[in-house]
Amino acid sequence: MSSDDVEQMHAVMLEAAWEVLGNRPPTVCRCVEAALGTLAVSISQLQAEHTQGSMFMGQAQLQLEMLRNTTRLSLYASHGLGVLAVEDALNAALGAVRSQVNTALGGELI
Amino acid sequence: MSGNGTKKLWTMLIGLCLMVGICGCSNVCRVAEYDSHMDIAISELQRKVETFLTQMERGGNRGEASYERNVWFYDEVRVDLSAINVRAGAVTGDGPLLEQLRLLAEQILLLEGVHKNGLDGTAIQRVRGAVNACCTRILRLELARRRGDAVR
């Protein structure tokens, strides 16, 4: 996955998350942007490893879940989002790229 | 107005001011006090996990790094987490801490799942980052309480 593809994935995830979160203070915005940016990069790395054959789908799914939890923590740290808002934003962000990522992998990573 | 009437009025006014003051202060509440045991327990757990991951990195693909030979680690960490959760649960209303502990337990469970299928260098890096993020967040909560910050 090229850096342009990662940026595009990041943008799609952000748009989906903002639709759910609505207007938030700038500190929260920066936190969400950074957290989803890291997640997008990590997803692209998992994709690459699976495509190269160094990781099978089950492993990738477990590691994605781990990354998902880490993203949850980053979003909690923004102090402006509750547990439910974080969950909704994360589900929306991943839902927005699910089809693109899974189709590219030929399996259900997300 | 008579002297008694004025006295009564002043008494009522002072009482009203005190009530407003007490009600106003009740909006800022510390969910839980700082717990040094929690602080130490989480630090020790992080150290245990880090020691384990470092050993796995050295073990590489040799037999010593296999899941079957390291089930003891997961059993120990499970017991540690149980004790930590019991302590956290004993503190009423500590929602933020309990949520962080739930995530930490889940990360350890995921680590176990990953290890069953092979723990390579990249996976170890990811796991390390994931577990450290959890422990850091929990320690920040506790240290904020130690400073006396109001935690909602």
In the prediction, which pLDDT does B89 show?
87
In the prediction, which pLDDT does A109 show?
87
B61: confidence class by pLDDT, cuts 50, 70, 90 = low
Question: Which one of B94, B106, B126 would you mutate to disrupt binding with A, by most A Cβ within 10 Å of its Cβ?
Answer: B126
In the prediction, which pLDDT does B33 show?
78
pTM reported for the whole predicted model: 0.81
Whole-angstrom Cα distance, residue A41 to residue B36?
37
| A69, A77, A83: residue with CB nearest B106 | A69
Q: Which residue has the higher pLDDT, B72 or A104?
A: B72
The mean pLDDT value for B2-6 works out to 75
In the prediction, which pLDDT does B24 show?
58
Query: Quick check: A56 and B117 CB within 8 A?
Result: yes
| A49, A66, A74: residue with CB nearest B110 | A66
Q: What is the pLDDT of residues B100-124, one digit of tens each?
A: 899 999 999 999 999 998 888 889 9
Q: What is the DSSP string of B45-93?
A: HHHHHHHHHHHHHHHTTSGGGSSGGGHHHHHHHHHHHHHHHHHHHHSTT
In the prediction, which pLDDT does B98 show?
87
Half-sphere exposure of A103 (CA within 13 A, CB side): 5
**Does pLDDT of B20 surpass 80?**
no
